[in-house]
Structure 1
Amino acid sequence: MTFVRKLPRMIDRLSAASGAVGKWFAVLLVLIGTFETISRHFFNAPTIWAYDSMCMAGGAIYLLGASYTYMKDSHTRVDLLYSRCSDRTKALIDVIGAAVFLFPLMIIMFEMSVTWAIRAWRINEVMFNSFWYPPAAPYRTLFAIGLFLLLLQAAAKFARDLYFLVRNETLD
């Protein structure tokens, strides 16, 4: 099997692993939310750390799940017309859409997220939504990793779609 065929499968496995890690943040989000609700309403003892923790856990779910969602073609799409198209037309729409919209946006977002992550590590940035002030660098780094994984998965889908358009056969 050639490298051209192996690489998208390797990226798929990476996206699947990212999704598997991301789902544990959903468990963490529920546990923290439950703890905060019980503490606040039954013991009149709210925490200072729950809000930031839930925001970061929710962001981790979103960021680590993005590449998995894209791999499974489960992202939101207005598909009134798309769903009625042939496979070749869908591939053409996806290639054009990725080249014109997805890649430029993801590249800009990835570059910005890396810059923010490096800055956060350099200045020891903290989150300031609450009085807990957790470090921002790990979350900002996770943000950059999530965008990188989404970019990789988009490249894999782009390669598959382009291969299908050119060869009229699937890459897998």
Structure 2
Amino acid sequence: MTFLARILQAINGLNRVVGLVFSWLSLGIVVLCFWVVVERYLFSTTRLWMQDLYVWMNGAMFTAVAAFALLRENHVRVDIFYRGARDRTKAIADLAGVVFFLLPFVTVVFIYALPFVQRSWRFMEGSANVGGMPGLYVLKSFVLIFAVLVGLQALAMLIRSVLVLADHPDLVPPDYRYSKVE
């Protein structure tokens, strides 16, 4: 069981680092968007690559931080019953949700996105806009990164559920327990 706990901590640590790093893109997006507006309305000029860049940064940020949101339970959940449930009931609900919904979803996303991303890399695809950003293939790769990171976080949720159901909730990191330890 301690091996599972170490895997859980490693996955949570990875998604925490990725989430914290990529969340800083939000500041870059705001600054860049502001500058594009200033250029357009004060200087009557625009650089199309800059417009592409803040849209691409937005896409990269949201796909990269999705697993971080899942880790922190910042996703949308209809928790009429879940919020007040006991830890074991939450573990059963998470186990079922991960096995029947989340893991199949990320598997389908990965399988269908892989040829799409591979084609983009083969052609070294760039922006469809004349004068736009090169390297669209890098942005498209974030679909695969999304699937992998969310899949890993789903595995972490699965491990947490197993540890709780196996009467080892003490092996779950305090900040990831169902009943938060103060």
1:5-154 equivalent positions in 2, closer than 5 A? 5-128=5-128, 130-131=129-130, 132=132, 134-154=134-154
Q: Distance in 2 between matches of 1:56 and 1:13?
A: 26
Range 133-142 or range 9-18, more displaced: 133-142
Q: Distance in 2 between matches of 1:4 and 1:29?
A: 38
The AA in structure 2 aligned to 1:103 is L
Q: Distance in 2 between matches of 1:127 and 1:152?
A: 30
Q: Deviations over 1:9-57 (max 9, x none)?
A: 0111100111122112112211210110100111111221233212211
| Alignment-derived partner of residue 178 in structure 2 | none
Range 52-61 or range 7-16, more displaced: 52-61
Deviation, structure 1 residue 142:
2.4
Q: Distance in 2 between matches of 1:114 and 1:56?
A: 19
| Alignment-derived partner of residue 175 in structure 2 | none
Contact residue 5 and residue 159 of structure 2 kept, 8 A: no
Identity %: 27
Q: Deviations over 1:116-144 (max 9, x none)?
A: 2221111222232x321532211112221
Q: Distance in 2 between matches of 1:95 and 1:4?
A: 15
Contact residue 125 and residue 137 of structure 1 kept, 8 A: yes
CA RMSD of aligned residues (A): 1.7
TM-score in terms of structure 2 length:
0.86
Deviation, structure 1 residue 92:
0.9
Deviation, structure 1 residue 103:
0.7
Q: Distance in 2 between matches of 1:153 and 1:125?
A: 30
The AA in structure 2 aligned to 1:99 is V
Any idea what SS the aligned residue of 1:83 has? coil
Structure 1 gaps of 5+ residues are: none
Structure 2 gaps of 5+ residues are: 173-182
Contact residue 160 and residue 170 of structure 1 kept, 8 A: no
Range 48-57 or range 160-169, more displaced: 160-169
The AA in structure 2 aligned to 1:84 is G
Structure 1 outlier segments of 4+, above 4 Å: none
